[in-house]
Amino acid sequence: MTEENDIEYFFSHVNEMMNAVDNWNPPPLIIEYKEDGDFYVCDGRHRLEMFRQKKAKAVPAIVWATGKENFDRLQEIIKC
């Protein structure tokens, strides 16, 4: 596959999800909070793009951080 085909497949899959979302309860995104302060989508890139295109204000997600320092920073960000 070429990169172009990969991109076409990605968005065709997103479009299928958008058409089915009214009859489907998408599982949560799996997100890791990294040491550098960034969030990494471990599972759910297609769902994330679907939610972006639908302009969702909130999405179901499971977020984790490895290590106490990262966990404490993550709690500050999400105000737990």
25-59 pLDDT per residue, tens:
899 999 999 999 999 999 999 999 999 999 999 99
The boundaries of the domain holding residue 41 are 3-78
Mean residue pLDDT across the chain = 90
Token pair belonging to 42: 């471990």
Token pair belonging to 23: 């009859």
The enclosing domain of 29 has a CATH number of 3.90.1530.30
* CA-closest candidate to residue 15, choices 43, 67, 53: 53
> How many domains, the chain?
1
Q: pLDDT band at 3, cuts 50/70/90?
A: low
Query: Is there a contact between 47 and 29 (Cβ–Cβ < 8 Å)?
Result: yes
Q: pLDDT band at 71, cuts 50/70/90?
A: very high
23 vs 5, more confident: 23
